[in-house]
Amino acid sequence: MMRIAIAGCGQLARMLAVAGWEMGHQFAFIADRGESTDCVAGLGDVVQRDEHMSGTTLFEALGQPNVVTVEKEHVQVSMLEALAEYCRVAPGPEAIRTCQHRGREKALLRSLDIATAPFELVEDAAELTAAVNTLGFPAYVKSCEQGYDGQNQWRLHDTESLDRLAAEMHALPPLVVEGAVDFDRELSLIAVRSVSGDVATYPLSENRHREGILLTSEVPAPNVKAHTLKQAEHIAHTLLSHWSYVGVLSIELFDENGALRVNELAPRVHNSGHWSQDSGVTSQFSNHLRAITDVLPGATQPARHSGMINLLGTEPPADLLQTRDTNLHWYNKSVRNRRKVGHINVQADDRARLKQRLTEIEAVLYPSDEAL
Ligand SMILES: Nc1ncnc2c1ncn2[C@@H]1O[C@H](COP(=O)(O)OP(=O)(O)O)[C@@H](O)[C@H]1O
Ligand SMILES: [Mg+2]
């Protein structure tokens, strides 16, 4: 049994700790200034970090953890490096440094020969305009840092929207400009590698978004060709061994007629892996903790079809949950417009039934949505 410190206090930290409590681990959480800690209330000690805290002070305040891990990529890397003087930090600071910056991430993928959207890094208005002219409309412009759930992102359709953004460039941080990928669907792969180098992957998940935020996942993704699965596994193994990665690594993918491009990486558990909590396998949360505490990954291949639908700014009506095939996960957050406040996992014996149930639940949760 170990003491595990998690940088971040959101729902992913909550679900990691809930899974870890079952294994007898104890937790401490690192909160940034102003960060809400509602999600982890009652699950361990919360340490408010100030930027000038030394590594040793933070390590002591966390109760001398055996391992430090993260629930998000936007973590100060120098803090992780300082903690690494005292205990294991997994995943390692270098993987987190790369994944917290879209430019560094894309450059690494390119250097490892892993396909991405065509992209250019830009720092001023002239570079932005030149990049969009090369890559064409529509162009996806994303801030290199601090982007998630569609934030700090612009989709440019025409010269007018380009000129508007270019006029603001002096106030903007470095950006990545991507050409549009004409994908058939979005997939993700959750992979895990333990301290001893044992690797496991979950089946590919097919993911749908609503207003730039994940709405549903379905596992296993339907109609995955053998070469597509092989490519996904190859991408995962390449990245895991590049970093000698420890923990869960999440890979968001675009599927174009069976050929994959990496959209983005997350050095942590991922929303599209939440289905694993109720599908009779070792969940992504348990497997992350096993990996960082040097335990072989547990089973990742579910016998049934599994799905997940996010609760975005909405509480489910009670009768929606009076069914045998659903499990509610609630994050202890206050409900605000579009905010991820929980999710519902669904199990089914076949793919058609899973799809039907997700559609039914979606219609109840988001009655005003047009067909997405
Ligand atoms: N180059 C692209 N071509 C087509 N669609 C894209 C592209 N980049 C992003 N998208 C769409 O926008 C969504 C959010 O982009 P992503 O880079 O994953 O940002 P976030 O960090 O907000 O998840 C993607 O899941 C995809 O639907
Ligand atoms: Mg994404």
- Using one digit for the tens of pLDDT, what is the confidence trace for 287-298? 999 999 999 999
Q: What is the CA radius of gyration of the chain?
A: 20
Tens-place pLDDT, residues 173-184: 899 999 999 999
Question: What are the pLDDT digits (tens) for 10-51?
Answer: 999 999 999 999 999 999 999 999 999 999 999 999 999 988
User: What local confidence, expressed as pLDDT, does residue 28 receive?
Assistant: 98
| pLDDT over threshold 60, residue 364 | yes
- In the numeric block, which tokens belong to residue 212? 């730039």
One DSSP character per residue, 182-236 reads: --SEEEEEEEEE-TT--EEEPPPEEEEEETTEEEEEEESPSS--HHHHHHHHHHH
> Please, how many CA atoms are within 13 Å of residue 103, restricted to the half-sphere of its CB?
13
Residues with CB under 6 A from ligand 1: 117, 140, 142, 147-150, 178, 180-181, 186, 209, 212, 252, 263-264
Phi, psi torsion values for 52, nearest 5 degrees: -95, 0
Q: What is the model's pTM? A: 0.96
C-alpha 55 – ligand 2 centre gap (Å):
32
For ligand 1, the distance from its centroid to the CA atom of residue 186, given in whole angstroms, is: 9
Can you read off the two tokens belonging to residue 252? Answer: 């968001």
For residues 10, 11, 16, 19, the Cα torsion angle rounded to the nearest 10 degrees is: 140
In which residue are the tokens 């709405």 written?
Answer: 215
**Tens of pLDDT, residues 304-361:** 999 999 999 999 999 999 999 999 999 999 999 999 999 999 999 999 999 999 999 9
Task: List the domains of the chain with CATH numbers.
Answer: 3-89 (3.40.50.20), 118-179 (3.30.1490.20), 185-365 (3.30.470.20)
State the Cα–Cα distance between residues 10 and 127, nearest whole angstrom.
36
Residues 6+ apart with CB under 8 A from 172: 143, 165
To which residue do tokens 């335990």 refer?
295
Q: Once rounded to an integer, what is the mean pLDDT over residues 80-86?
A: 98
Mutation probe of ligand 1 site: the residue of 106, 140, 255, 310 with most atoms within 8 A of C-beta: 140
Within 84-175, residue ranges assigned H as helices are: 93-99, 102-111, 125-135, 159-168
In the structure encoding, which two tokens stand for residue 28, read together?
């401490």
Tell me which of 48-52, 158-162, 204-208 is least confident: 48-52
